[in-house]
Amino acid sequence: MLVTNIAPMGRRPSTRERLQAAALDLFLAQGYEETTVNQVAQAAGVSHMTFFRHFPTKEDVVLDDPYDEVIAGAVRAQDRGLPVVERVRCGILAAWAALPEPSAAQARARVGLVARTPRLRARAAENNRRTASLICEALVADGAAPVDAAVAAAACLAALMEALLLWGAQPDSGDLGTLIRRALDVLAVGADAGGRAVASAGPA
């Protein structure tokens, strides 16, 4: 998930988090393509080699996300009797609710950077496919048809990504959690013709 690699406020950042914060500052100040790994490492007070011990590529310092397994696990934990789309939708909402809340300003800046940087958007789409694969594996293991699992995962992750990118690109788009729920509610069982969910089984 795009916003989850920013350290929650009030905790001393790790080396990994310092690298991510330094990278974001530099990318915003001088551009993603114009910033080198050496500059990021220097700004974080570490060596070039330390950067690569934490992140294999420059893209990863923005997009690295340890929560793929969390999302897949949350989907797996949903009621097996739910339709597959609803199971994925509720799982994503449950995973989001369980995550530590990041700094809104940092998170919006990071997502906005991804939204306007073609290389990062392409890599984010690749990461989404990896997450979708994990969700599909969880659903198929519980008896879902592979095509149903693939469509459900792709649809829900597309809704999540659109909510994130809209929030990052438009400062007046409101609260991120509310926007994510609204985007996923378009896919809810019982949504009306205007996309308004009339029967949502998502977590409270």
CATH code where residue 45 lies: 1.10.10.60
Based on the domain organization, do 94 and 149 belong to the same domain?
A: yes
Lowest mean pLDDT among 38-42, 78-82, 97-101, 149-153: 97-101
Based on the domain organization, do 51 and 82 belong to the same domain?
A: no
- pLDDT, tens digit (0-9, with 9 covering 90-100), for 124-149: 999 889 999 999 999 999 999 999 99
- pLDDT, tens digit (0-9, with 9 covering 90-100), for 156-199: 999 999 998 888 888 787 888 899 999 999 998 554 434 344 44
Distance CA 186, CA 118 (A): 27
Which pLDDT value is given to residue 174? 81
Look at residue 41 and tell me if it is in a domain. yes
**Whether pLDDT at 5 is above 70:** no
Based on the domain organization, do 28 and 112 belong to the same domain?
A: no
Based on the domain organization, do 123 and 24 belong to the same domain?
A: no
**Contact residues for 40 (Cβ-Cβ < 8 A; gap 6+):** 19, 22, 23, 26, 51, 58, 61
Distance CA 40, CA 24 (A): 9
CATH code where residue 168 lies: 1.10.357.10
Based on the domain organization, do 69 and 53 belong to the same domain?
A: no
- pLDDT, tens digit (0-9, with 9 covering 90-100), for 36-73: 999 999 999 999 999 999 999 999 999 987 777 888 89
Look at residue 148 and tell me if it is in a domain. yes
Look at residue 193 and tell me if it is in a domain. no
Look at residue 101 and tell me if it is in a domain. yes
Range of the domain at 143: 63-185
Look at residue 160 and tell me if it is in a domain. yes
Based on the domain organization, do 166 and 73 belong to the same domain?
A: yes
Look at residue 22 and tell me if it is in a domain. yes
Look at residue 84 and tell me if it is in a domain. yes
Distance CA 105, CA 84 (A): 34
Distance CA 24, CA 27 (A): 5
Based on the domain organization, do 51 and 70 belong to the same domain?
A: no
pLDDT tier at 8, thresholds 50, 70, 90: low
